[in-house]
Amino acid sequence: MINKSIFGSFIREKRNEKGLTQKELAEILFVSESTVSKWEVGKSYPDITLVPDICKALDVSEHELIGGAEDTEYRKVKNEARLYRRISESFFLFPTAAYILALVICFICDICINKRLTFTPVVFGSLLTAFTFIPTCIRFTENHKLAVFAGSTYLALVILFIICCVKYRQNWFLNAAMGSSVMPLFSFRFF
């Protein structure tokens, strides 16, 4: 562990970066203001049980706190993880918004042109199926992601088949549903 004065300087620097006074940091950590002052002037170290709370309050890692310096690798990984979460979120939100917008436009056009729903149900089934091809449903589950992806896609296809069969008064639903359920079995065999 580093010496107390370097440790204290690091705590003071991070506290100031967060815009906290010694009293405010002490209140967050449930210690006295004089205790924080003793850390910062290098008279003592904090109790080991306070390390996670100090790290959270000052937004530093345990490695940074104990080392008394910023861990650039940790910061880099943390920033990359934050960027990945943003990209992942936009990958989900952008197609979702686009599909909803397309459905609303089709609904408005259908009502304005035909004065009733004629092609909107088919568009809904098609957009639902397209939405499941982008693995969006797996973001809501932790386990069995492939099964959730295959199941949600198959369910969307079945809904599309039902809509088309009812809309066009056809009776090919059973053949299409069974054919769609058999195809993934063959594709898994070759991969």
pLDDT of residue 191: 42
Angle formed by the axes of helices 33-41 and 22-29, nearest 10°: 110
Pick the CATH number of 4-70 from 1.10.260.40, 1.20.80.10, 1.20.1300.10, 2.40.50.200: 1.10.260.40
Q: Roughly how many angstroms between the first and final C-alpha of the chain, as a whole number? A: 52
pLDDT band at 182 (very low <50, low <70, confident <90, very high): low
How many angstroms separate the CA atoms of 128 and 148, rounded?
15
pLDDT band at 187 (very low <50, low <70, confident <90, very high): very low
Torsion-angle region of 105 (φ positive above 0: left; ψ -120 to 50: alpha; else: beta): alpha
Kindly give, in sequence order, each residue whose CB lies less than 8 Å from that of residue 127, ignoring residues fewer than 6 positions away.
99, 102, 103
**How many percent of the chain have pLDDT more than 90?**
34
**8 Å CB contact between 127 and 157:** no
C-alpha 58: how far from chain center: 24
The pTM of the full predicted model, rounded to 2 decimals, is 0.52
Domain boundaries, the chain: 4-70, 92-190
Q: According to DSSP H, which parts of 59-144 are helical?
A: 62-67, 72-114, 120-133
pLDDT of residue 186: 52
pLDDT in tens, 16-36: 999 999 999 999 999 999 999
